[in-house]
Amino acid sequence: MLPAQRRDELLRVLRTEGRVVAKDFAARHGLSEDSVRRDLREMAAAGLCQRVYGGALPVSPAVVDYAGRQGVAVENKDRVARRAAALVRPGSTAILDGGTTALAVARALPADLEATVVTHSPTVAAALAEHPAVKVLVLGGRLFKHSVVTSGALLAEAAAGIWADVFLLGVTGVHPEAGLTTGDAEEAATKRTLASRAGDTYVLASAEKIGAASAFRVLPLGEVTGIVTDVPLDDPAARALLDAGAPLVAAP
């Protein structure tokens, strides 16, 4: 990445996300933290941003407040996303589900990662367009409006022709008795189809999903390789899941 490009990108992220975390930005784009910090320092000196401990914020305080709230809200999902992103090994093939957590995973993938990602979410596909080294395969089909993913016969047909190392599955509930659940029957079926096309299946389960249950079961707790969560494993809800045989994996 060209130095000038790097600075443009920093400004862009600052504008769109309301903040820049030096460490994350460096990791995401395969840069040294030093270069990022140096840029931020110079941009701050030029009045283009406001340097703070850990990164930078936009100059205008109005934007900062908003960004701050957003930041706190997404922090949990980010932790799960970062942990899950590490499951996509260089050179491997991964299936990425739809939904906000899966979208966060797509964004958390290292910028220089060379891998193949299969997805049935147009939103995730568009996000992955930012990752130059990732081969992206979109599974077509009828668009399911609520969660913005494709499903149906066309998808099943396309999915039959692929095989992935890992499937990162998003659900709306992880419950000791109900298992892994989601809010729509067809969506559940689609997720099952995708799970059958990968060697390992990991569930993306940020805190608000733990202990929750929706109407339709995707899979029983024990039939996935791991459930990535940011809830501490000694939390009562987590204990209940572990007792029910859920393979919980704590995000750092």
Partner DNA sequence: CCTAGTGTTGCACGTTTCTGCGTACTAGCG
Partner DNA sequence: CGCTAGTACGCAGAAACGTGCAACACTAGG
Round the CA-based radius of gyration of the chain to a whole number and report it.
Answer: 19
Q: Does 30 bind a second copy (CB under 8 A)?
A: no
C-alpha to C-alpha distance for 22 and 52, rounded to whole angstroms: 10
Strand-pairing partners, residue 150, are 143
Determine if 16 is a binding residue for DNA (CB under 7 A): no
Q: Which of 38, 69, 89, 142 binds DNA (CB under 7 A)?
A: 38
d(CA 28, CA 56): 16
Considering only residues 74, 143, 178, 242, which one is a binding residue for a second copy as defined by CB under 8 A? Answer: 143
Among 40, 105, 139, 174, binds a second copy (CB under 8 A): 139
Per the document, the length of the chain is 252
Give residues 47-76 in contact with a second copy (rule: CB under 8 A).
50, 52-55, 57, 61, 66
CB atoms within 10 A of CB 200: 15
Interaction between residue 64 and DNA (CB under 7 A): no
Return the residue matching tokens 């704590």: 250
Binding mask 191-210 for a second copy (x = CB under 8 A): --------------------
User: Using CA atoms, how far apart are residues 82 and 29, in angstroms rounded to an integer?
Assistant: 14
Binding positions for DNA, 95-154, rule CB under 7 A: none
Q: List Cα–Cα distances, 92 to 29, 125, 173, 198, 220, in angstroms.
A: 19, 17, 28, 11, 26
Tell me the window of 47-55, 72-80, 85-93, 210-218 that interacts with DNA (CB under 7 A): 47-55
232 is an interface residue for a second copy by CB under 8 A = no
Task: Kindly tell me which of 50 and 119 has the beta carbon lying closer to DNA.
Answer: 50
- Considering only residues 115 through 134, tell me which ones interact with a second copy, judged by CB under 8 A: 120-123, 125-126, 128-129, 132
Q: Are 241 and 227 in contact (CB under 8 A)?
A: yes
CB nearer to a second copy: pick between 76 and 119: 119
Nearer to DNA, 31 or 159 (CB): 31
Residue 141: which residues within 8 A CB-CB, separation 6 or more? Answer: 120, 150, 151, 152, 153, 154, 155, 156, 158
- Residues near a second copy, by CB under 8 A: 2-5, 8, 19, 21, 50, 52-55, 57, 61, 66, 120-123, 125-126, 128-129, 132, 135-143, 145, 148, 150, 154-155, 158, 161
